[in-house]
């Protein structure tokens, strides 16, 4: 027997076990694609209601802002979030079952805790901003904190999530500089980036 092959085999076995035991790899890329689609539909609904279509394609000027509009935007955002999470759970459970892995183990718990710490912090900050009528700050803040959550959680899953997180943080920071274009950056970050990364992960790991 070729002993060199044996040693290479040992090393790859070690790597494989370390990965499997410490990373959550049932995350399905399709959940990203669908989350992105929902976000684009949501952004379009808000755009359609809130922005003047006269003049520029994307006009900064709100036609009017009523408190009912704020409620409308929040409802759309929450609707997008709930749908995205539900679809994510569906595809990820399906992938886990196909690969005969447990969906709920220590790696899942660590992934969620690390994702939720920045995410809940960001959520509370957004509520404070809303309370102080700083509506324009909310979309950039959601992008930045979501990005931080992803980077923080990425140690426990695919590497791609780290780059998605960094992309969201960068978009959020740019959006802070161009307040008023929040919806556009929001659509790029939560919509287009989710679709791109989700599709790339799907073809990389699930095809």
8 contacts another protein (rule: CB under 8 A): yes
102 contacts another protein (rule: CB under 8 A): yes
20 contacts another protein (rule: CB under 8 A): yes
| Span interacting with another protein, options 18-26, 41-49, 111-119, 164-172, rule CB under 8 A | 18-26
113 contacts another protein (rule: CB under 8 A): no
Between the alpha carbon of residue 110 and those of residues 17, 186, 204, the distances in Å are 18, 27, 24
7 contacts another protein (rule: CB under 8 A): yes
Between the alpha carbon of residue 150 and those of residues 30, 100, 137, 204, the distances in Å are 17, 25, 20, 19
3-class secondary structure, 159: coil
Q: Which is nearer to another protein, 2 or 48 (CB)?
A: 2
Q: Which of 71, 89, 97, 105 binds another protein (CB under 8 A)?
A: 105
Q: Which is nearer to another protein, 102 or 204 (CB)?
A: 102
Q: Which of 65, 106, 121, 134 binds another protein (CB under 8 A)?
A: 106
98 contacts another protein (rule: CB under 8 A): no
Neighbouring CB atoms inside 10 A of 27's CB total: 25
The answer for residues whose C-beta is within 8 angstroms of residue 73's C-beta and 6 or more apart is: 46, 50
Tell me which H or E stretch contains 148.
helix 138-153
Would you state the structure tokens that stand for residue 125, as one six-digit string? 């900050």
CB of 98 to another protein, least distance (A): 17
Query: Length of the chain, please?
Result: 207
Judged by the rule CB under 8 A, the positions of this chain that interact with another protein are 3-4, 7-8, 10-11, 13-14, 17-22, 102, 105-106
């Amino acid at each position: 027997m070729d002993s060199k092959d044996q040693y290479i085999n040992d090393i790859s076995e070690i790597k494989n076990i370390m990965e499997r035991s410490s990373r959550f790899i049932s995350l399905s890329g399709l959940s990203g694609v669908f989350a992105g689609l929902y976000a684009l539909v949501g952004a379009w609904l808000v755009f359609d209601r809130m922005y003047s279509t006269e003049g520029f394609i994307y006009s900064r000027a709100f036609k009017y802002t009523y408190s009912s509009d704020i409620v409308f935007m929040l409802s759309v955002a929450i609707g997008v979030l709930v749908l995205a999470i539900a679809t994510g759970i569906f595809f990820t459970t399906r992938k886990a079952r196909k690969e005969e892995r447990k969906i709920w183990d220590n790696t899942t718990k660590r992934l969620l805790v690390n994702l939720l710490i920045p995410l809940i912090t960001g959520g509370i900050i957004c509520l404070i901003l809303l309370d102080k009528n700083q509506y324009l700050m909310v979309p950039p803040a959601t992008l930045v904190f979501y990005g931080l959550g992803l980077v923080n959680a990425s140690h426990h899953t695919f590497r791609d999530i780290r780059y998605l997180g960094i992309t969201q943080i960068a978009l959020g920071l740019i959006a802070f500089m161009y307040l008023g274009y929040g919806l556009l950056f929001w659509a790029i970050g939560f919509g287009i980036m989710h679709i791109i990364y989700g599709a790339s992960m799907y073809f990389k790991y699930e095809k």
